[in-house]
């Protein structure tokens, strides 16, 4: 859809110098759901339409493009002239979801994405939903941070407990070895006491025998 607004506003307080100064034109275009296929050579030829032999006043325009695809087809060559090793040209496809093209009275062309209307009720509801979602995510992140801190403390406590368990296990092993050594020493002590007792009895018997003689 293309719309041309042509307004004529005469200036009564000034002398007529050029009628074109009274004119105020503006072009508005909307392009939606269009699939356009162009040959690259044809696209190059379109540049001739933008050459103005007689410079005129800049015509401001505003165009909105939504869901539009432009396919630039590469020129095809004769298969007989193509070498087997030559690279075949490929087509270029450009997809424009939402785009705004604007030219001001100064001739400046601006291309920018379409901005959402923040004053609409639907946009306001979206902002409220986004704020609520952001608050919810913030609360969840704080909860996860606290939970992560608790898990870190539990991890440190578990490591400390494992260290105590390893030390306790080592102490039990040392205690068992000490008890075994004590048992061996007690056995050796009892053996020595028995030997001493035997020696004493032998000595006593020898003394008694000598006295009888």
> Given this model, what pLDDT does residue 178 score?
92
Q: What is the mean pLDDT of the chain?
A: 77
Is the CB of residue 105 less than 8 Å from the CB of residue 61?
A: no
> Which contacts (CB < 8 Å, 24+ apart) does range 189-198 have?
none
Q: Which residue has the tokens 């800049």?
A: 58
> Given this model, what pLDDT does residue 14 score?
54
Please tell me the distance from the alpha carbon of residue 121 to that of residue 118, in angstroms, as a whole number: 8
Predicted TM-score (pTM) of this structure = 0.38
> Given this model, what pLDDT does residue 158 score?
92
Please tell me the distance from the alpha carbon of residue 66 to that of residue 57, in angstroms, as a whole number: 29
Please tell me the distance from the alpha carbon of residue 13 to that of residue 98, in angstroms, as a whole number: 44
DSSP helix/strand/coil, 107 = coil
For residue 29, count CB atoms less than 10 angstroms from its CB and return exposed for 0-12, middle for 13-18, buried for 19 or more: middle
Higher per-residue pLDDT: 13 or 160: 160
Q: How far apart are the first and last CA of the chain?
A: 152
The yes-or-no verdict on residue 12 having pLDDT over 80 is no
Q: Over the stretch 50-96, which tens digit does the pLDDT of each residue have? A: 666 666 667 788 888 888 888 877 766 554 445 555 566 677 888 88
- Backbone phi and psi for residue 7, each to the nearest 5 degrees, phi listed first: -115, 140
Q: Over the stretch 158-173, which tens digit does the pLDDT of each residue have? A: 999 999 999 999 999 9
Please tell me the distance from the alpha carbon of residue 182 to that of residue 93, in angstroms, as a whole number: 91
The yes-or-no verdict on residue 154 having pLDDT over 90 is yes
Please tell me the distance from the alpha carbon of residue 31 to that of residue 63, in angstroms, as a whole number: 8
Instruction: Return the H-helix or E-strand segment holding 33.
Output: strand 23-39
Residue 78 — left, alpha, or beta (φ > 0 → left; ψ -120 to 50 → alpha)? beta
> Given this model, what pLDDT does residue 171 score?
92
Q: Give, as one character, the DSSP assignment of residue 84.
A: T
Report the greatest alpha carbon distance in the chain.
175
């Amino acid at each position: 859809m293309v719309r041309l607004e042509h307004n004529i506003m005469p200036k009564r307080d000034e002398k007529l110098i050029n009628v074109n100064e009274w004119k105020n034109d503006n072009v508005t275009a909307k392009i939606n759901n269009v699939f356009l296929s162009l040959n690259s050579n044809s696209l190059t030829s379109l540049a001739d339409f933008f050459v103005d032999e007689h410079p005129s006043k800049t015509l401001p325009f505003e165009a909105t493009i939504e869901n539009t695809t432009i396919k630039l087809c590469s020129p095809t060559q004769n298969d007989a002239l193509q070498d087997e090793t030559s690279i075949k040209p490929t087509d270029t496809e450009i997809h424009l979801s939402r785009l705004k093209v604007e030219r001001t009275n100064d001739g400046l062309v601006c291309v920018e994405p379409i901005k959402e209307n923040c004053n609409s009720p639907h946009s306001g509801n979206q902002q409220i939903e986004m704020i609520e979602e952001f608050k919810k995510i913030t609360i969840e992140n704080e909860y996860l941070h606290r939970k992560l801190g608790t898990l870190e403390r539990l991890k440190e406590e578990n490591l400390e407990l494992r260290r105590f368990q390893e030390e306790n296990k080592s102490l039990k092993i040392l205690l068992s070895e000490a008890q075994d050594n004590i048992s061996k020493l007690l056995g050796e002590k009892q053996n020595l006491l028995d030997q001493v007792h035997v020696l004493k009895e032998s000595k006593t018997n020898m003394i008694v025998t000598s006295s009888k003689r």
